[in-house]
Amino acid sequence: MTNHDQARARLEELWAPGCRFLGCRFAVMGGAMSWVSERNLVSAISSAGGFGVLAGGSMDPDRLDVEIEATQKMTKAPFGVNLITMHPRLPELVNVCLARKVSHIVFAGGVPGREMIALAKAGGAKVVCFAPALALAKRLVRSGADALILEGSEAGGHIGPVATSVLVQEILPQVRDVPVFVAGGIGRGEAMLSYLEMGAAGVQLGTRFVVATESVAHPAFKKAFITASARDAMPTVQVDARFPVIPVRAIENEGSRQFMMLQHDVASKVDRGEITQQEGHLTIEKYWVGSLRRAVVDGDVEHGSLMAGQSVGMVVREQPVADILAEIEEQAIAALVARGG
């Protein structure tokens, strides 16, 4: 057996728990990105051996049903569905997934209640939850979560305050009962390998897949990713404590600057009594609803939202999903070969 073969066998051993849990060849989940993680990209990731995840976002049950069915027609491989816990029709969305025999449901955007986890599991789905802190990770496992995702602040979109490297050190040694996947700032196989060796079952990538050939993102959106550096992907800042804002990491453009101005404008209107504090909060929250679509679908990369993780600096060209997965695998294998396995 060659050194390369030995290294490949070692990598397969490391990510075997993740592969078994997901039912795929590569323990690499696709991050659920609104307007990007739809039937084309998700089916491509799963068909290539990874694990695609549909972004349920703000879809209503009927729309989600159509998207799941369409994805199932494009791939026979398993894939998951990401559901936002704050969605007002969450139980209906879970039931849509169960009726379509979706294998994995990923709850995001908040902490799912025990009843939601129980509903999904009773219907035969495996439940995956995001854990931004150790106490919450343990609570989710007690509540029945089948796997966890540790996503650090290097990720794109809505982010928490703690870096991936810190979350992993804090949580991985303490949570061994369920598979744990790591996300945020991962762009190469060497980084994936390091987390696997620390005990992770696999990883989740989002930013790398935005520029996949199979991604339906607008060419201008993809170009913005290819030309950006890591320091271009910055989190938004909350300007007034009365209007709590979850930071959003995105490539800076006129749209992100307008968001800052909007917060100041809303605060001024509330101070003058022109709108209520609740109305002001809703105005701020609604800003991103259409902003991401303008960028991803319409190609307005100046005024739309360019949500991207800091790994965007490692996105240098458009590639088929299969090539991205193979490249990450080979980078991990090469790292093992370089140090003798």
Tens-digit pLDDT profile for residues 209-244: 999 999 999 999 999 999 999 999 999 888 888 878
Residue 337 has pLDDT above 90, yes or no: yes
Backbone phi, psi, residue 149, to 5° = -120, 125
- Average pLDDT of 56-81? 97
Q: How confident is the model at residue 143 (pLDDT cuts 50, 70, 90)?
A: very high
Radius of gyration of the chain (CA): 20
Neighbours of 244 (CB within 10 A): 10
Q: Cα(196)–Cα(327) distance, rounded to whole angstroms?
A: 17
Confidence of residue 6 (pLDDT cuts 50, 70, 90): very high
- What's the CA gap between 15 and 312, in Å, rounded? 24
Domain ranges, ordered by start, for the chain: 3-216+316-338, 229-307
183 alpha-carbon distance from chain centroid: 7
Residues 6+ apart with CB under 8 A from 136: 111
| Angle of helix 3-14 versus helix 189-197 axis, rounded to 10 | 60
pLDDT surpassing 90 at residue 111: yes
Quick one: pLDDT at residue 205? 98
| 176-214 pLDDT, tens digit each | 999 999 999 999 999 999 999 999 999 999 999 999 999
pLDDT at 243: 78
Helix segments in the chain, DSSP class H: 3-14, 16-22, 39-47, 61-74, 90-99, 114-122, 134-142, 164-171, 189-197, 207-210, 219-227, 254-271, 277-296, 321-338
Q: For residues 110 and 115, what is the distance between their CA atoms, to the nearest angstrom?
A: 14
Q: Give per-residue pLDDT as tens, 251-282.
A: 999 998 888 898 889 889 989 999 988 888 77
Q: Does domain 3-216+316-338 have CATH number 3.20.20.70?
A: yes
> Which neighbouring-strand residues pair with 47?
none
Q: Which residues neighbour 216 within 8 Å (Cβ) at sequence distance 6 or greater?
A: 36, 38, 40, 41
By DSSP bridging, strand 233-235 and strand 248-251 are: antiparallel
Mean pLDDT, the chain, whole residue set: 95
DSSP string for 231-262:
GGEEE-----TTS----EEEE-SHHHHHHHHH
Kindly state the average pLDDT of the residues 97-125: 97
Cα atoms in the 13 Å half-sphere on the side-chain side of 256 = 20
pLDDT, residue 273, reads 93
Identity (one letter) of the amino acid at 9? Answer: A
153 pLDDT more than 90: yes
281-333 pLDDT, tens digit each? 778 877 876 899 999 999 999 999 999 999 999 999 999 999 999 999 999 99
pTM for the whole structure: 0.94
Task: Please answer whether residues 107 and 83 qualify as being in contact, where contact means their C-beta atoms are separated by less than 8 angstroms.
Answer: yes
Identify the pLDDT of residue 341.
62
